[in-house]
Amino acid sequence: MSFDAIVDNLPLYLSGAWTTLRLLAMSLALGLLAAIPLGVMRASSRRRWWVPVGCFTFVVRGTPLLVQLFLLYYGLAQFEAVRASVLWPLLSSAWFCAVAAFGINTCAYTTEIIAGAIRATPAGEVEAARSVGMSWGLMVRRILLPSALRRALPAYGNEVVLMLHATSLASIVTLLDLTGAARDVNSRFFLPFPAFITAALFYLGITFVLVALFRRAEARWSRHLHARS
């Protein structure tokens, strides 16, 4: 088995890894930012708050990411109004559609993770905040979220790794991410084993780094939750 083609194409893999990381960072940032308010709404006991958010997470979590990506990338072109709009150059780009689809997808999962962490908040924490006269907004900002986000950390770490793997779908809509680089090498040299195993090793490496980062984050922020050994 010849690895010469892989060595020659290492720059392609590296730029692919960079694309993968940028896709991941952008969609995670987008998803997390939207998921924090949505998570609070999802955990609320008021119907008009949790029902719409619940519908959103149900639909997104119940359908494959590939369908969501195709709906944005191929589907939007069906509407004349979209094609005529000033935003069309943006909306028709694979990069934008991939980030939007991944961002919406991770947002739905993260919303449920955060909502679950909020529901697990000890009632005493909220009662204490109320008893010292905190307003609702202040209580959410200073007590509820700092406590819940810490509890959400392990599950969110999993979500980040799953999202890293999900970004491989970008190669289906022509983007040259890590998987795209591997597919390109495979189609030019027909070396499936070296081509895809190299990409797999890159993904494994990134996964291990992410897992290590989350372990450190947990050691730092969730120290009070771990029993002293």
CB of 128 to other proteins, least distance (A): 19
Per CB under 8 A, the list member of 3, 18, 193, 221 interacting with other proteins is: 193
Candidate segments 43-51, 126-134, 184-192, 213-221, binder of other proteins by CB under 8 A: 184-192
Burial of 53-90, coded b for 16+ CB within 10 Å and e otherwise, reads bbebbeebeeeebeebbbebbeeeeeeeeeeeeeeeee
Q: Which is nearer to other proteins, 81 or 132 (CB)?
A: 81
Calpha distance 187→99 (Å, rounded): 26
Q: What string marks each residue from 115 to 154 as x (binds other proteins by CB under 8 A) or -?
A: ----------------------------------------
SS3 assignment, position 120: coil
Q: Which is nearer to other proteins, 156 or 203 (CB)?
A: 203
Beta-carbon count within 10 A of 200 CB: 13
Per CB under 8 A, the list member of 75, 116, 154, 157 interacting with other proteins is: 75
Calpha distance 68→98 (Å, rounded): 9
Calpha distance 116→141 (Å, rounded): 17
Q: How many residues sit close enough to other proteins to count as binding (CB under 8 A)?
A: 40
- Say if CB 102 and CB 23 are below 8 A apart: yes
CB of 179 to other proteins, least distance (A): 6
CB of 78 to other proteins, least distance (A): 4
Calpha distance 161→211 (Å, rounded): 8
Beta-carbon count within 10 A of 190 CB: 9
Q: What string marks each residue from 27 to 66 as x (binds other proteins by CB under 8 A) or -?
A: --------------------------------x--xxxxx
Residues near other proteins, by CB under 8 A:
59, 62-68, 70-71, 74-79, 161, 164-169, 171-172, 179, 182-183, 186, 190, 192-193, 196-197, 199-200, 203-204, 207-208
